[in-house]
């Protein structure tokens, strides 16, 4: 097939579809590459820098992020060279200093054999991967989140850090967050997403009374999917 290319992955020659991200190819071959900011539902971003690999093309070697680097003919890819391990360890150490008590970060550091202690600790579970911002924009489509400030003060938040009038309370940001930084709670008929200062009333099934989802979320889905007004009057169990 014209769209197939030959590459080598850790010395093994394999066929792959041209343009396929190297991370996807490695996963298909059960080759482990760590990552914190990758999700198949999102456009590859490469911000966490954990998925680094070393490629060789035309006699030149360099480090790239595997989640968004496309397969091309003759490419040689190595996932565990000394250069890769050293660079990845530095990135991991920086993340460990930022979130030294976060289980996801601590466990990944242990797996990679990285220990902290050399850098000043911040103790912030948000690693600025941007997945919450991206899923809200790319998948949900409401763009309720963005980044505020720069440098060490940078953080994901709602406009002006005020309670969001755009957030529909779907919880997608919570589900994709790799460190559990974003907190969501359903209590007494209200969904709270504490990071965004959101409190949305839950809609109930007109038959059994079970809570379905935030009313704002259902209204948004009905509108965007052009569904009947009564489409969410019943929960899935009562339909």
In a domain, 118, yes or no: no
Residue 222: what pLDDT? 95
The whole model's pTM is what? 0.90
In a domain, 178, yes or no: yes
The whole-number average pLDDT for the span 182-188 is 97
- Check whether 188 has a pLDDT greater than 60: yes
Question: How many structural domains is the chain composed of?
Answer: 2
∠ CA 184-189-171, rounded to 5°: 30
In a domain, 215, yes or no: yes
Structural domain of residue 219, as residue ranges?
131-225
Q: What confidence tier does 25 reach under pLDDT thresholds 50, 70, 90?
A: very high
Residue 40 to residues 21, 26, 92, 127, 145, Cα–Cα distance (Å): 11, 14, 22, 19, 20
- Check whether 236 has a pLDDT greater than 90: no
* CA 184, chain centre distance (Å): 17
- Check whether 106 has a pLDDT greater than 90: yes
Contact 29/98 with Cβ under 8 angstroms?
Answer: no
Do residues 93 and 148 both lie within one domain?
A: no
Last residue of a domain, one of 49, 82, 112: 112
In a domain, 99, yes or no: yes
Please give, one letter per residue, the 3-state secondary structure of 131-145.
HHHHHHHHHHCCCCC
- Check whether 1 has a pLDDT greater than 60: no
């Amino acid at each position: 097939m014209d769209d197939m290319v030959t590459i080598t992955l850790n010395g093994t020659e394999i066929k792959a579809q041209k343009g396929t991200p190297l991370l996807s190819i490695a996963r298909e071959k059960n080759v482990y590459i760590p990552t914190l900011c990758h999700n198949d539902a999102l456009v590859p971003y490469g911000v966490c820098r954990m998925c680094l690999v070393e490629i060789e093309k035309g006699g030149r070697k360099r480090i790239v992020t595997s989640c968004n680097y496309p397969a091309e003919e003759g490419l040689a890819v190595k996932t565990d060279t000394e250069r890769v391990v050293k660079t990845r360890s530095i990135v991991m150490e920086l993340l460990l200093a930022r979130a030294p008590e976060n289980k996801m970060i601590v466990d990944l550091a242990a797996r990679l054999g990285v220990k902290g202690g050399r850098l000043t600790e911040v103790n912030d579970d948000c690693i600025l991967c941007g997945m919450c911002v991206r899923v809200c924009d790319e998948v949900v489509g409401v763009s309720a989140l963005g980044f505020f400030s720069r440098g060490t003060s940078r953080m994901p938040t709602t406009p002006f850090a005020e309670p969001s009038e755009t957030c529909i309370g779907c919880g997608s940001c919570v589900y994709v967050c790799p460190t559990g930084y974003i907190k969501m709670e359903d209590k007494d008929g209200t969904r709270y997403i504490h990071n965004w200062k959101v409190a949305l009333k839950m809609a109930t099934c007109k038959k059994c009374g079970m809570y379905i989802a935030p009313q704002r979320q259902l209204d948004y889905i009905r509108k965007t999917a052009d569904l009947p007004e009564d489409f969410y009057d019943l929960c899935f169990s009562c339909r």
